Amino acid sequence: MAAPRRIILDCDPGHDDALAVMLAAGDPRVDLVGITTVAGNQTVEKTTRNACAVATVAGLSLTPIVRGADRPLLRPLRIAPDIHGASGLDGPPPLTPTVVPRPGHACDFLIEQVMASPGDVTIVATGPLTNVALALMREPALAETAREIVIMGGAYGRGNVTPAAEFNIYVDPEAASVVFGAPWRLTMMGLDVTHQAACPEEVQERITAIGSPLGIFAGQLLEFFRSTYRREQRMDDPPVHDACAVAYVVDPDLFGTRPARVVVETTGTHTSGMTVTEFVEGGDSRHDVGISVRRDALFDVLVEAIAALG
């Protein structure tokens, strides 16, 4: 068996980020080096607390959690309480985390971990890309030293905040432009593929039926997430957006991708945050874009990972 893929999960928990953490921690094909947090679904104070809460329930006391940027590079912060609730992780009963974040800043942690192991560490970014952009601006060699970056964000079709833009990119398009423009292998798991990964009620029931505190916690998260997606997005089932980015590292064969060139619109009056995508065949494209997912197999992987954490 190949050695586990070492990843840093840069996230803004968030219900689907929480599931991404569980997948990254529970699947043996991944070694979760650390979790970095950013403002996005909620303020960075809340997303960091939520990361610590998930780590507490999942038993991840040894996994570093490092807080990052509290605002986008240039714009006011936009959060998503309509989807994730006032805490950013509404649904389960409130708990007091026993895991605490480590000192320091996320961008320094990203730089230290990647530069210490050239070609080895993959960054999986499932929130606004502020931390990653800050790290690139501080250490441009990050892009050539990381193994790759996998992003949940963007869309080559319709957005979910505006017709043009997906939330993570819309919150900080300037940061996204820096990240997409850097010279590294980048895979975009956008709405076009993550909306195909909507979690049916029977999968939620399988997760709850695991019977562990984590399984029950994850089921409660999905129940709340389902209710807000039905109300706000008119979707019967909630997409596990961020888990898709981790799952791509776990098993790329779960997804179909196409090579592309992607640039981020930062100035358009009606298109700010749009990921303008040109599909290409061959050539020197550094970008790949998710277009399809083996949904049933993806959920099998997710359920197994949650069960493995006990």
Active site residues: 241
Residue 180, token pair as written in the block: 């997409």
Sheet of strand 287-293, all strands in order from the earlier edge strand to the far edge: 65-67, 30-37, 5-11, 121-125, 148-152, 186-189, 287-293, 255-264, 275-279
The dihedral sign for the CA sequence 14, 248, 172, 117: positive
Q: Which of 243, 252, 197 is nearest to 16 (CA)?
A: 243
Torsion of CA 211, 217, 218, 222, to 10 degrees: 120
Please enumerate in sequence order all residues whose Cβ is within 8 A of that of 296, keeping only pairs 6 or more positions apart, or say none. none
The three-state secondary structure class of 36 is strand
CA atoms of 179 and 174, how far apart (whole Å): 9
